[in-house]
């Protein structure tokens, strides 16, 4: 018997579920949660992706402007660029399609519009590969990869992590959800520090971004390669300014 909150009453015994809850969890759920976690040791917490410069310029200054900035960045940046690369790269890793992966990796590097944005993608990609190595999984042997793909950019490295961790029949879209939510959570944490905002405001912004992620993923999955783009002039200008910003918390 368990005690009821109301004094003097006893609650009826709770019967055990007929089946264990674990039986309702797909094999891919835990790896997706793992890859979306901000605790993943790849350094995402140290970047604001131009947000800190937007705060310095007065473009982002409260909850509403932060939510709008990040929503625009999700749809105009992530959806048309990194998420679209990720959608194609997961399949390419599974097929060991080295030419496609090399082309995608080079595209990511070529389209980073500032030095700090390119360094971010390269550093996080290297760190993700080191994390994969540390797990010592038989499905991942770095020596079997072409030399040019042993330290890929972040979206291509993330696609490799998905290909290693997810069952072969798992569609890439689920991995895009994990990537997008991990990005959103890191950016909200950056905003809480840089704007600054309270935790409740951060959670409301994260809720808004979560509602936008399905549309962003759907758009990324539908983009043909020739329509993929990374054209965000304001973000590029602010990132360039951030490189020489006098006082800053973040690396980009």
- Between CA 121 and CA 247, with CA 189 as vertex, the angle to 5 degrees is 75
Residuewise pLDDT in 10s, the chain (252 residues): 333 323 334 444 444 444 444 455 566 788 899 999 988 999 988 999 999 999 999 999 999 999 999 999 999 999 999 999 999 999 999 999 999 999 999 999 999 999 999 999 999 999 999 999 998 888 788 888 999 999 999 999 999 999 998 888 888 899 999 999 999 999 999 999 999 999 999 999 999 999 999 999 999 999 998 999 988 999 999 999 988 887 778 877
Task: Give the C-alpha separation, 35 to 186, whole Å.
Answer: 13
Written as six digits, the tokens of 201 are 């405001």
Sign of CA dihedral 73, 216, 29, 162: negative
Which domains are seen in the chain, by residue range? 49-242 (1.10.4190.10)
Contact 70, 201 (CB under 8 A): no
Give the predicted TM-score (pTM) of the model: 0.88
Contact 184, 140 (CB under 8 A): no
């Amino acid at each position: 018997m368990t005690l009821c909150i109301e004094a003097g009453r006893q609650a009826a015994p709770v019967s055990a579920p007929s089946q264990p809850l674990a039986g309702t969890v797909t094999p891919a759920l835990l790896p997706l949660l793992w890859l979306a976690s901000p605790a993943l040791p790849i350094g995402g917490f140290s970047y604001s992706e131009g947000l800190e410069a937007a705060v310095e310029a007065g473009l982002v200054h409260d909850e509403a402007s932060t939510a709008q900035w990040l929503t625009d960045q999700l749809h105009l940046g992530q959806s048309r660029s990194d998420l679209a690369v990720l959608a194609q790269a997961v399949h390419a890793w599974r097929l060991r399609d080295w030419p496609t992966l090399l082309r995608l990796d080079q595209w990511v590097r070529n389209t980073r519009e500032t030095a700090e944005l390119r360094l971010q993608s390269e550093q996080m990609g290297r760190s993700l590969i080191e994390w994969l190595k540390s797990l010592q999984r038989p499905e991942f042997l770095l020596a079997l990869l072409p030399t040019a793909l042993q330290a890929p950019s972040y979206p291509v490295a993330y696609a490799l992590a998905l290909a290693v961790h997810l069952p072969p029949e798992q569609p890439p879209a689920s991995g895009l959800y994990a990537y997008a939510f991990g990005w959103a959570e890191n950016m909200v944490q950056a905003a809480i520090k840089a704007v600054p905002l309270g935790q409740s405001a951060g959670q409301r912004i994260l809720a808004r971004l979560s509602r936008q992620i399905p549309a962003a993923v759907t758009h990324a999955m539908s983009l043909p390669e020739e329509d993929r783009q990374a054209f965000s002039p304001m973000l590029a200008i602010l990132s360039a300014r951030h490189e020489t910003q006098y006082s800053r918390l973040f690396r980009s």
